[in-house]
A and B are shown apart, each in its own frame.
Chain A
């Protein structure tokens, strides 16, 4: 029973970080119907930036989150305007190819800049844990989850309480309707993409503390993040949160009760099964292309 609860708690903590990272993926899909396969690569890029800030200034990586978020917002905005903008409205498969191209480019550039060795960010709390009753909670994971929850709250606030946020949500629901009430869907799309990458940037800074990374790490991340948003329902933010917590817990349980090697395949099985059995996921709307029989 203790083990069970321990796994559940760890899974939920890790899941909170997953939720932060996948929120951008689902937001971007919701607003512009682009499946951003570069999402994992952007996360790894953010981790490398965190590493650089840490080695140069010694600043605690969790404190550098605001810097990373700002930089990633800029990178997201640029990527949108330089590349993604040109394929909006083309067939969705084409947008998948373009974002995969971005992912490969980032992987290669990261290799040039930071080398292909594995990098880690070691802080004073990397190996410590907090003991509460029979449970141990790794300090880094605990801090990471707290930051993730706070940032997710901020994201929900932005989307619900600010004009830009509401415009983003309106564009996601109904593009022509949004146009009608004076939302410039074009510039909103750029903001949404940048916002999605910025929140992911915070996630990237957090995972830099938790796990070592190499440029090729992005494949695992994109698999996991895709599984999360597919499970939650493409385009749904609440769905992504639920999906992330489920995947986080599922990974812990699979390791304990099925075998560690199964963790790798959990995301892919989730993707295949959900897309075949219930393509709209837990909370998503039907995709138009899937609407007909």
Chain B
């Protein structure tokens, strides 16, 4: 298993900031740190595994409960840390596992209860997948609230389903099925094995395409869809994975307690301990939740025994929660690695400060010849369209943002979509890419109706898009960002390494193509805005789309990059890609696009070659309003007005 946590790995832009070795203290060097961490982990593993040799029963039971919380926290981390869904009800899965083992132990006497533990895990995972269905509709605060409600709902079921659960009286489990001299060893070993398996599962997920998809969902679920991540299936699988081993640990826990009842098996306070463990140790890290569990549980027991009992404990948990979220929201491990990073890179130039040097200038092989615009427009319009938008409408409350919008994008063209502010351009983009669903109208791509398809389905059919203000997965490296998109969905593919083999090669090629290969290990969030736009383009290209929607590719970036962006688009177009652009920079649009569609108040008011558009009365009308028209009919002034209007 990797020694440093994955978070630290992602945040180390080795290829960019080569530290001056002489300035970095010896102990802070990557190799040294890695070695220290390996040794510490080894020691911790041995101590935890062999802990019952310590004859103190109370210490034994503390470690056992810490192990249960650790397994629970590692599971919770899969949906909270990786996928970004915070659950305050995750302890319910421990309760379900415990109940399942208790019920079976009672129903089938004579079989050692531990035998049922794996089955309990599977049942719990299935239940978790069912619960995961709610994430199809609810995110953010709604999901947190639902997670609490689910905990209480399960407690209610356990209370009311007398025939199976024996109601509030609970179910007692038989005594240990092994000789008394063995003490808690079998319980302890089972939990250590479960913790090992949990870490293996969690680490494996983080390394694979599956994990990359989950992190994409955490960073930006809407965007994840547009790059082909089938988020509902991902989330259901994540829920299942997060509950599988937790349910098993619950089974062992129930046997250890010797008794299960609704109040204590579905306890909100224990759920809070899981959340605390994850946040304290570090969300999204591999070992953070374990570290958190081994801090929170002993602290809890200490507060209860020497700190004054239950009330102290409540105040302590409450204040800890507040302080963590306000002062240390990232948790211990990420903060440590961040600190190390700062020591290492002290005195080197930050990423966003570096400018593109001469070496970065893109050498587009041969600029494609630009044919006569009018002729080109005619030829293109005659070709079958790659995208057909018909009668598209969408309103928000009373506001009709898109109104019976109809246009086409000819195959092989770079089509421009322009219009005054608020004319509905971005909404049209969202409707085409599936981030929004239309009230009426159809969207066809290559003749297939995609208007009801989810965004990832459209991505799988050859549609790629970028966003107005870039939406990269900021915590991922540049290379991971480009490797994250998925051109299709299949279960076996989820298990592939996140960045490896042909895909990695292809991702590197694309990085090279957009001229950013120097930055492949840098965190996407640390790049300049213009660089992020280029990365986003590369991210779209990895799916090899037929049609690429670009939302203001030239917005907010410096002139050198604008020129380079234009060259890239022309180059890609020459390779056969079609484009639909929304852009405010008129010279850029008019120099690049042909044909052009003009949108006003959600409706297409003009279409044609750039020259035709610039002299169209309706267009001038829309951009300038009637007043202007009264004063001047000089077409040169008009043209300037349009060009300058929105920049």
Contacts and interface: CB of A to CB of B under 8 A. Distances in A.
Complex contact flag A–B (Cβ < 8 Å): yes
Interface of A: 35, 83, 86-87, 90-94, 96-98, 100-109, 111-112, 116, 219, 223, 226, 230, 234, 261, 264-265, 267-269, 271-272, 275-277, 279, 287, 289-290, 292-293
Nearest to B141: A92
Contact of B138 (A107, A290, A292): A290
Contacts of B321: 97-98, 100-101, 104
A102 B320 CA distance: 10
26 contacts: A91-B140, A96-B88, A96-B141, A96-B145, A97-B86, A97-B88, A100-B88, A101-B317, A104-B315, A105-B314, A107-B314, A108-B310, A108-B313, A108-B316, A108-B318, A111-B314, A265-B153, A268-B152, A271-B146, A272-B134, A275-B138, A276-B134, A277-B137, A292-B435, A293-B454, A293-B455
Contacts of B156: 264-265, 268
B140 A101 contact: no
A275 B142 contact: yes
The number of chain B residues touching the other chain, given as a range, is: 35 or more
Interface string B87-122: 010000000000000000000000000000000000
A107 B222 contact: no
B325 interface: yes
A96 B315 contact: no
B144 A96 contact: yes
Nearest to A98: B325
Nearest to B316: A108
Interface string B258-298: 00000000001000100100010000000000000000000
B140 A105 contact: no
For the complex of A and B, the 5 pairs showing the least CB-CB separation, nearest first, are A101-B321, A108-B314, A105-B318, A104-B318, A108-B315
B574 to A, nearest CB: 34
Given A104-B318, A268-B149, A289-B142, 12 more contacts: A90-B329, A93-B144, A96-B141, A101-B321, A104-B272, A108-B314, A111-B314, A223-B152, A265-B152, A275-B138, A275-B142, A293-B455
Contact of B315 (A109, A292, A293): A109
B481 to A, nearest CB: 20
A92 B144 CA distance: 9
Secondary structure at the A interface, as helix, strand, loop or mixed, is helix
B141 A102 contact: no
Contacts of B573: none
B224 to A, nearest CB: 11
B312 interface: yes
Contacts of A94: 325, 329
Contacts of B148: 223
A8 to B, nearest CB: 26
Interface string B402-438: 0000000000000000000000000000000011110
B139 A290 contact: yes
Contacts of B222: 292
B318 A97 contact: no
B322 A83 contact: yes
A279 B86 contact: no
Interface in B129-185: 134, 137-142, 144-146, 148-150, 152-153, 156, 159-160
Interface in B307-360: 310-322, 325-326, 329
A257 B316 CA distance: 43
Given A104-B314, A108-B311, A272-B153, A261 B159 contact: yes
Contacts of B454: 293
A200 B272 CA distance: 25
B145 A87 contact: no
A96 B86 contact: yes
A275 B147 CA distance: 11
B138 A276 contact: yes
B426 to A, nearest CB: 13
Contacts of A97: 86, 88, 275, 279, 321, 325
Contacts of A287: 140-142
Contacts of B320: 101
Contacts of A105: 314-315, 318-319, 322
Nearest to A110: B311
Contacts of A276: 134, 137-138, 146
B185 to A, nearest CB: 35
B267 to A, nearest CB: 11
B152 to A, nearest CB: 5
A120 B152 CA distance: 26
Nearest to A105: B318
B436 A93 contact: no
Most A CB within 10 A of own CB, among B88, B221, B316, B318? B318
Contact of B318 (A96, A102, A230, A277): A102
A275 B315 CA distance: 31
Nearest to B134: A276
Contacts of B436: 292-293
B268 A279 contact: no
B217 to A, nearest CB: 12
A111 B149 contact: no
Contact of B325 (A101, A219, A226): A101
A158 to B, nearest CB: 26
Contact of A100 (B141, B159, B221, B272): B272
A93 B140 contact: yes
Contacts of A109: 311, 315
Contacts of B138: 275-276, 279, 290
B20 to A, nearest CB: 36
B146 A275 contact: yes
B140 A103 contact: no
Contacts of A293: 434-437, 454-455
B89 to A, nearest CB: 11
B141 A35 contact: yes
Nearest to A106: B318
Contacts of B86: 93, 96-97
A277 to B, nearest CB: 8
A87 B134 contact: no
A108 B275 CA distance: 19
Nearest to A268: B149
Contacts of B146: 271-272, 275-276
B169 to A, nearest CB: 15
Contacts of A108: 310-316, 318
A94 B88 CA distance: 12
* Residue of A234, A287, A289 contacting most chain B CB atoms (<10 Å): A289
B325 A290 contact: no
A279 to B, nearest CB: 6
A90 B330 CA distance: 12
A290 B152 contact: no
Contacts of B134: 272, 275-276
Interface in B503-557: none
Nearest to B430: A292
Contacts of B317: 101, 104
B323 to A, nearest CB: 8
Contacts of B310: 108, 111, 116
A271 B153 CA distance: 11
B286 to A, nearest CB: 21
Instruction: Tell which of B88, B139, B455 has the most Cβ of chain A within 10 Å.
Output: B139
Contacts of B221: 292
Given A92-B141, A97-B279, A272-B153, A102 B311 contact: no
A35 B435 CA distance: 26
Nearest to B326: A86
Contacts of A268: 149, 152-153, 156
Interface string B616-631: 0000000000000000
B145 A226 contact: yes
A98 B314 contact: no
A43 B479 CA distance: 51
A90 B268 CA distance: 24
A93 B140 CA distance: 6
A91 B567 CA distance: 39
A113 to B, nearest CB: 9
